[in-house]
Amino acid sequence: MTKGADFLLDQVSVQYQNTLALDEVTLSIAPGEAVGLVGPSGSGKSTLLHLFNGRGQPTGGWASVSGKRLIDYGRRDLKQLRSRIGFIDQGLNLVPNLRVSQNVIAGRLGQVGFARSLSMLLFPSRAMLREVHELLERVGIPEKLFERTDRLSGGQQQRVALARALFQKPVALIADEPVSSVDPARARDTIEQLTRISREEGLTLCMSLHNFELAREHLPRLIGLRDGKVVFDRASEEIGDEQFDALYTLEKNEMWRDGA
């Protein structure tokens, strides 16, 4: 798998019992492209991102990553795919009582066996620690190398999650609401880091954001989702108030349903 994965969805639907999370979505994302997913809660953004690294499967239509349909990936292939796509979850999924270095090293554990994983975590080589330190330097917290992760601020933990994803040597970065729990200044800084590093490394970048203005400012292409459908898919500078209203304005029956 070369740098810059591509993603293709053709008439993809995802059904969870009585909930239709995605409804016949068709889109393509080219290698090295930076794309933002925007839309209200429950619009299907997370479900879509989970398809991109094989965490989920379509119940209708088909999805492919780097030219291969998800349905054609075996268990081992899926493990390899996930190990090369950096996924930054909304909850970050860091281990709080481990050192920062260990959390970053954990990014590569999916590429090795159990015995090697234990060795990497407990007895990392000097070369590996240098690599981790360089990544932490890149995200602005090199002095936190041996700090316990639960002693860091929320913004610093986000940087650890980014360093962990980069330690995978990924072909793509997927971020699901990466700035939902930090203040606006930290949010802007995190998005700038994600877009800059992805551009420098030639990585495909896909992230979901609730903050529409932040997404429009930093990502050249936005895909608007609502009720599992694509409302718009266009360059950020082409998106105006009409598209914003179509995405976020609640209909009267939705207001009553949500208790507004």
Give the strand order in the sheet containing 68-69.
19-29, 7-16, 60-65, 68-69
Closest CA to 212 of 223, 203, 204, 197: 223
Residue with tokens 């090199």: 142
Range 91-120 average pLDDT: 87
Residue 193 to residue 198: CA distance in whole angstroms: 8
Is residue 163 within 8 Å of residue 188, measured between CB atoms? no
Residue 258 pLDDT exceeds 70: no
CATH number of 1-84+181-260: 3.40.50.300
- CB–CB of 54/225 below 8 Å? no
Output the pLDDT for position 181: 64
pLDDT band at 185 (very low <50, low <70, confident <90, very high): confident
pLDDT at 1: 47
Residues 13/23, Cβ–Cβ less than 8 Å? yes
**Which residue, chain included where needed, has tokens 């007895």?**
123
Alpha-carbon distance of 24 to 11, in angstroms, equals 4
- Per-residue pLDDT for 255 more than 50? no
Q: Which pTM was predicted?
A: 0.86
What residue spans define the domains of the chain? 1-84+181-260, 95-169
Q: Report whether pLDDT(11) > 60.
A: yes
Q: What is the pLDDT of residue 182?
A: 66
> CB of 85 within 8 A of CB of 53?
yes
pLDDT digits (tens, 9 = 90+) for 34-79: 999 999 888 999 999 999 988 889 999 999 998 899 999 888 888 8
Whether the pLDDT of residue 210 is over 90: the answer is no
Per-residue pLDDT at 240 exceeds 90: no
Average pLDDT, the chain: 87
Distance CA 136, CA 180 (A): 22
Identify the residue with better confidence: 245 or 12: 12
E strands, the chain, are 7-16, 19-29, 34-38, 60-65, 68-69, 85-88, 172-176, 204-209, 221-226, 229-235
Asked if the model's pLDDT at residue 223 lies above 70, the reply is yes
Phi-psi map region of 144: left, alpha, beta (phi>0 left; psi -120 to 50 alpha) = alpha
Residue whose entry in the numeric block shows the structure tokens 């949010």 = 187
Q: Worst-scoring range by mean pLDDT, 79-88, 168-177, 209-218, 238-247?
A: 238-247
